[in-house]
Structure 1
Amino acid sequence: MTLTLTHAHGDRVTVAHEATGTELFAYVYRPEAAWEAPKPYLHPVRTLSGAVVTDYRPNDHRWHKGLQLTASHLSGQNLWGGNTYVHGEGYVALPERIGSMAHTAFEEVSATGDRAVLAERLSWHPHGGELWAEEERRIEVGGVDPDAGSWSLTWTSAVTNRRAEPLRFGSPTTHGRPAAGYTGLFWRGPRAFRDGRVFTAGADGGDLMGSQADWLAYVGEHDGRDGHATVVFEHAPGNDHAGEKGTHPAHWFVRSDPFAAVAPSWAFHEELVLDPGDTLTRGYRVHVADGAWDRERVAAHVAGVAW
């Protein structure tokens, strides 16, 4: 179950599973088009059998790139990409609001046995280039199970406000558009995954937008090859997504029509305010599996993997 790692410096890091010969994902950190709010992303992400479960620059949203961390409304700036939602006007081209999340350095890039690690430092900037935030990001790959046809990655980001005033994380919904609370970690699925099955431990489909749950699963069917894949998104316990400890609650942004997308939103119903010098830390696990898993199988798998 050995994982291997290839680093094309200045461009990407690729992690592969030696036994199957499958490249599980590429982490691309080279800068891209300014209009698309440059930031690192994972694409393509594949199942152990080699099926792709992410999309890249689809014609409806060129700034959707695999799995990435986003900030659609950040103190008046757009670190998401493309047009900016303005209440009463809809989506407006405001290039002077498009910012970026820039790769600064890797602290660790390693693969040993059945585990791979990417530890990275990034800086967040508005359109003018000032330093607004610094991020420490850690992506760990493991849990490779050829018998189950699955593997997992854990994504942890710690974002520190470097401004002299609060950073306000919002979304189109906090700015007046219903059911568009995307911000934070964001996954865009392949076009073939449209109309896939979406469920949590206690609900299905249309009931999930803006809801809360420990995990959410998306099952899609491939084009070009037979079969399905299941992608499961899971909150770290420390996220306190339900808000019992007084921290800002998270809610699921999820769509299966007109495209497949999932985000455990940082600011679905209300803004998240990060004071100067404070750090926002969030962790997630993404399980990637061959086949159409049902609720019972997903629940058992999630329960069997300790944080």
Structure 2
Amino acid sequence: MTTPAPATPELRLTHAHGDRIDLRAGEVTLFSYVYKPESAWEAPKPYLHPLRTLSGGVVTDYRPNDHRWHKGLQLTASHLSGQNLWGGNTYVHGEGYLPLPERVGSMSHESFDEVSAADGRAVIAERLVWRNYHGDPWADESRRIEIHDLDTSAGAWTLTWSSAITNRRDETLRFGSPTTAGREMAGYTGLFWRGPRGFRGGRLLSPELEGEELMGTQAPWVAYSGEFDSVDGHATVVFAHAPENEHTGDGGEHPAHWFVRSDPFAAVAPSWAFHEELLLPPGDTLTRRWRVVVADGSWERDDITDHLKRQPW
């Protein structure tokens, strides 16, 4: 007798206007999308936390004591034409990290174009404005977060994040990182995930490499597997580039260099300016699309490759 596949849980959105949007799959809240501004020192911006597996395991951290501005999964810009839309201290070559509040900007929520859930798919479409410390609008962002492919057999679900950032200034926006500012192997910027404290020392994988040797390299995807505190089990979070993402520097066909950490904390970011600045002229639009798979269990390369193949772009 064939055992029937587990039923796919229904997706339901709850919107606390001016604060957050919660997405539930059955009895589990897969995430909260928080867009209410928080501390100015932490470069206020929307974020996803807690992010959970289908079994309810939490795979993000929020305001850890080492970096209070690390909040789940969020889009960041650590160095942007002299401003810091990352949060906290700013790296200055030769002087280290300095408290420079006059450089800390924000990404402010403006409106939602769509907040919906139906037929196994949910959408959050939002308009934001990127601002400098003084509140001047530097860029407009059109953001779309789609949740799809809930796979109860695999114990996984997928989030696709799309952002289009248009330069509103009369001069070029320069996207950089601590590495473009002079600090070696610290190219964090762009989409950034901070894993929970229990994921410290977890496993990093790409199609060809493993562990910290991934830092600063290029690859179409990177996965992080860690073990939960409090409850038994592991989870794997996979980050993948869309085929249309363009890499503007030297070094091959893959669109970005990866910032990764497993110690002293878990972190992954497909950096858009690891080794070289990315330049966005006035009126031009930078578009990026990434996929994040949140899965129960510790996945191997073949598991990841096969799963991604079943979800064509």
Q: Give the TM-score normalised by structure 1.
A: 0.97
Matched, 1:144 2:150: yes
Q: Could you say which residue in structure 1 is the equivalent of 2:56?
A: 50
Task: Tell me if the contact between 2:248 and 2:278 (Cα under 8 Å) persists in the aligned partners.
Answer: no
Q: Which residue of 2 aligns with 1:9?
A: 17
1:272 corresponds in structure 2 to 278
- Contact kept? 1:212, 1:242, Cα under 8 Å: no
Task: Return the offset for 1:206.
Answer: 2.1
Per-residue deviation, 1:82: 0.1
**8 Å CA contact retained: 2:218, 2:254:** no
Quote the residue 2:39 is aligned against.
33
Alignment partner of 1:177 is 2:193: no
Q: Is the Cα–Cα contact under 8 Å of residues 219 and 256 in structure 2 kept in the other structure? A: no
User: Which one of 64, 69, 94 corresponds to residue 63 of structure 1?
Assistant: 69
2:304 to 294, 298, 301: 298
Given that 2:241 and 2:255 are in contact with CA atoms closer than 8 Å, whether structure 1 keeps it comes out as: no
Q: Which runs of 4+ in 1 moved over 6 A?
A: 242-248
Tell whether the 8 Å contact from 1:212 to 1:241 is kept in structure 2 after alignment: no
Q: 2:114 corresponds to which residue?
A: 108
CA deviation string 1:269-289 (max 9, x = no partner): 000000000000000000000
Once the two structures are superposed, what CA deviation does each residue of 1:52-86 show, in whole Å capped at 9, x if it has no partner? 00000000000000000000000000000000000
Which residue of 2 is the match for residue 158 of structure 1? 164
Q: Which residue of 2 aligns with 1:22?
A: 28
Distance in 2 between residues matched to 1:118 and 1:250, nearest whole Å: 25
Deviation, 1:240, is 3.2
**Letter in structure 1 aligned against 2:133:** H
Partner of residue 191 from structure 1, selected from 172, 191, 197: 197
1:131 maps to: 137
Query: Deviation per CA, 1:131-168, whole angstroms, max 9, x where unpaired?
Result: 10000000000110111100000000000000000000
Pairs within 5 Å for 1:224-263? 224-241=230-247, 249-263=255-269
For structure 2, the residue ranges without an aligned partner over 5 or more in a row are 1-7
TM-score, with structure 2 as normaliser:
0.95
Residue type of the partner of 1:71? A
Determine if contact 2:115/2:124 at 8 Å carries over to the other structure: yes
Number of aligned residue pairs: 305
- CA RMSD between the two structures: 1.5
1:90–1:244 distance in 2 versus 1, CA, 3 Å: closer
**Residues of 2 paired with 1:192 and 1:63: CA distance?**
19
Indicate if the aligned counterparts of 1:251 and 1:264 stay in contact, CA closer than 8 A: yes
Give 3-state SS (helix, strand or coil) of 2:137's partner: coil
> Could you tell me how far 1:120 is from its partner in structure 2?
0.2
Is the Cα–Cα contact under 8 Å of residues 109 and 117 in structure 1 kept in the other structure? Answer: yes
2:123 is aligned with 1:122 = no
Distance, in Å, in 2 between the alignment partners of 1:242 and 1:235 is: 14
Structure 1: stretches of 5+ with no match in the other structure: none
Letter in 2 for 1:81: G
